[in-house]
Amino acid sequence: MTTATSPIIGAYLVKGTIGNTQLLGAPLVTYALVVVPGQHHVSGHVNVTQATENGNYSGNVTGKIFATGYGNVTQVVSLHGLIHPDAPMPLEIPFEAHLAINGEWVGTGGFSYGNVHVEHVPVKHLAG
């Protein structure tokens, strides 16, 4: 008898932010991701907020996660997908993000969408 291994064994949910939460009005990404480390796969949802009219976006993302072996940065994550404005507009914008994090999902990252490019901002884990 053979035993099949479920592709989601070891999967976990992680929630967090990418961006400077101390700088009012700065673009901020909030994410909820399902991580399957054994397959180096990440998928989930992002919300982008900024203090401009029609500045909020959301969408689904997928990506990769890899171990690094470099000091405090133990994992790197890349995300990509399409986001759309929360306002009723038929528009989709490419979204990309990258994170250099430790095992607690804390570190540094960046993201881009439309003409917005944010680099070297904090990545923080959100409990719950």
Overall average pLDDT of the 34-56 stretch = 89
Q: How much is the pTM?
A: 0.88
User: CB-based contacts of 68: which residues, under 8 Å, 6+ apart?
Assistant: 74, 75, 76, 100
Q: Are 109 and 101 in contact (CB under 8 A)?
A: yes
Residue count (the chain): 128
Please state the φ and ψ torsions of residue 20, each to the nearest 5 degrees: -90, 100
What's the pLDDT score for residue 70?
78
What's the pLDDT score for residue 23?
85
Q: Is the pLDDT of residue 2 over 60?
A: no
Alpha-carbon distance 57 to 74, whole Å?
Answer: 30
